[in-house]
């Protein structure tokens, strides 16, 4: 016995709802296999649901774009901060500046290793320490580290902060869209189940083959199980109503 498969993707949900509206335009109300009450619910819900899905897809596309920009500006900021510290360490080795210079950046005077800048949080924290420390050191009359200067490093760092903030903002919007669409998806599933139940009831007086064919014209989907390869395998009992996992 084939079972009725309810939509389990947004595209399939939209097709099922749009098919009902399409049939209502082709068939007089008194001949429709589902109620006008359900049709009114679909007509009110469909444009809102479709807009929510479209907005979510657009927001996800923006998220991917911002993610790439964030990764690139983070890479550049990390590169410039690393180069700045390497130049500073080489200046100490040459005796041009004292080892105590490192303490301005929150590094021990005898520690020539580079701090970890792997994560964005580390990049944010160390970037601020290094920039603030170098600016303070210059204000006290010390010679600036050059190639790159802290001004150039700061430009890259602040650009990273800007793209990071934009990325976090778009992430919040994505979460809001996903939550909203998820709620509407549940409502769509309930509405489609109601619609399809009414359609099957509307053709309940027909034979099984004719009933299934009539329901399929309204967009209902029936699936044969693995051991059912032809109509000859069908049982004379009513169709099942299983739904695929979400």
What is d(CA 15, CA 187) in angstroms, rounded to the nearest whole number?
Answer: 15
pLDDT in tens, 166-198: 999 999 999 999 999 999 999 999 999 999 999
Judge residue 77's burial from the number of C-beta atoms within 10 Å of its C-beta, 0-12 exposed, 13-18 middle, 19 or more buried: buried
Terminal CA-CA length for the chain = 22
Question: Cβ contacts of residue 172 below 8 Å, gap of 6+?
Answer: none
Q: Is the peptide bond before 148 cis (omega within 30 degrees of 0)?
A: yes
The region of weakest confidence among 20-24, 32-36, 153-157, 229-233 is: 229-233
Q: Show the beta-strand stretches assigned E in the chain.
A: 3-4, 222-223
Percent of the residues in the chain that have a pLDDT greater than 90, as a whole number = 87
Q: Are strands 3-4 and 222-223 parallel, antiparallel or unpaired?
A: antiparallel
* Per-residue confidence (pLDDT) for residue 237, from 0 to 100: 36
The residues pairing with 169 across neighbouring beta strands, listed in sequence order, are none
- Does position 111 have pLDDT exceeding 90, yes or no? yes
| Buried-state track 106-122, b at ≥16 Cβ within 10 A, e below 16 | ebeeeebeebebeebee
Average pLDDT (34-53) is: 96
Q: Are 147 and 32 in contact (CB under 8 A)?
A: no
Q: 4: part of which helix (H) or strand (E)?
A: strand 3-4
Q: Are 8 and 185 in contact (CB under 8 A)?
A: no
CA torsion sign, 12 to 14 to 17 to 19? negative
Q: Are 240 and 1 in contact (CB under 8 A)?
A: yes
Tokens of 64: 């991917």
pLDDT in tens, 120-159: 999 999 999 999 999 999 999 999 999 999 999 999 999 9
- Does position 2 have pLDDT exceeding 90, yes or no? no
Average pLDDT (38-67) is: 95
Q: Is the peptide bond before 33 cis (omega within 30 degrees of 0)?
A: no
Q: pLDDT-derived band of residue 228, with 50, 70 and 90 as boundaries?
A: low
């Amino acid at each position: 016995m084939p079972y009725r498969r309810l939509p389990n993707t947004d595209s399939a949900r939209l097709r099922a709802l749009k098919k009902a509206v399409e049939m209502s335009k082709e068939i007089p109300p008194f001949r429709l296999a589902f109620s006008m009450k359900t049709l009114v619910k679909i007509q009110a819900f469909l444009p809102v649901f479709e807009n929510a899905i479209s907005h979510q897809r657009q927001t996800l596309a923006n998220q991917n774009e911002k993610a790439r920009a964030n990764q690139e500006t983070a890479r550049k900021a990390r590169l410039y901060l690393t180069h700045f510290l390497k130049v500073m360490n080489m200046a100490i080795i040459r005796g041009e500046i004292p080892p105590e210079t490192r303490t301005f950046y929150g590094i021990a005077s005898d520690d020539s290793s580079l701090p970890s800048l792997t994560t964005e949080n580390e990049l944010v924290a160390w970037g601020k320490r290094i920039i603030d420390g170098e600016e303070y050191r210059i204000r006290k009359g010390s010679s600036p580290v050059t190639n790159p200067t802290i001004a150039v490093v700061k430009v890259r760092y602040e650009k990273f902060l800007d793209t990071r903030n934009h990325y976090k903002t778009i992430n919040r919007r994505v979460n809001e869209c996903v939550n909203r669409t998820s709620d509407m998806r549940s409502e769509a599933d309930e509405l489609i189940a109601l619609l399809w139940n009414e359609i099957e009831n509307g053709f309940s007086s027909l034979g099984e083959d004719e009933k299934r064919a009539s329901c399929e014209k309204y967009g209902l989907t029936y699936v044969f199980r693995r051991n059912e390869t032809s109509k000859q395998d069908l049982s004379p009992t009513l169709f099942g109503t299983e739904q695929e996992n979400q």
